[in-house]
């Protein structure tokens, strides 16, 4: 971060704030996350996040799609199993393993304590995972 007469310059503030969002969610859970704490962690004024995000929910919503993409990648890496039960089991294990490895990110993705339907990118990513799960369970 550099300061001059015009204020501060961080570089890629949005990306830094998203990293801080995930870190704080891991430490305190999604409900314990605050935009001001993310700003402090990044070393910028507490008003800085609002240049990139409408509110704390928007910060959480912006952090969640990366988790959905990671989960979807795990599904895509699974070998195609010819038998229904095998494929369903593989999807279920991948889903549960993902949740177990990073429960805070999973919480942001699926619980989070905010209205996910208000965030289009998050809704699209969640729907893709839902479709993948339904396909694994369908005939």
How many alpha carbons fall within 13 Å on the CB side of residue 90? 18
Of 82, 100, 103, 94, give the one whose Cα is nearest residue 132: 94
Q: Domain 2-137 maps to which CATH number in 1.10.1740.10, 1.10.357.10, 1.10.260.40, 2.60.120.260?
A: 1.10.357.10
Grouping H, G, I as helix, E, B as strand and the rest as coil, residue 54 is coil
Domain residue spans of the chain = 2-137
Predicted pLDDT of residue 101: 93
Average pLDDT over residues 7-33: 83
User: What's the predicted TM-score (pTM) here?
Assistant: 0.76
């Amino acid at each position: 971060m550099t300061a001059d007469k015009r204020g501060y310059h961080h570089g890629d503030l949005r990306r830094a704030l998203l990293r801080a969002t995930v870190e704080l969610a891991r430490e305190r859970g999604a409900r314990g996350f605050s935009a001001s704490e993310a700003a402090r962690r990044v070393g910028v004024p507490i008003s800085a996040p609002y240049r990139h995000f409408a509110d704390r929910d928007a910060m959480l919503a912006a952090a969640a799609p990366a988790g959905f993409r990671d989960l979807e990648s795990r599904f895509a890496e699974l070998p195609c199993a010819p038998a229904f039960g095998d494929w369903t089991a593989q999807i279920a294990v991948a889903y549960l393993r993902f949740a177990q490895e990073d429960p805070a990110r999973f919480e942001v993705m699926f619980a989070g304590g905010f209205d996910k339907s208000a965030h289009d990118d998050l809704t699209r990513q969640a729907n893709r995972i839902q479709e993948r799960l339904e396909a694994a369970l369908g005939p």
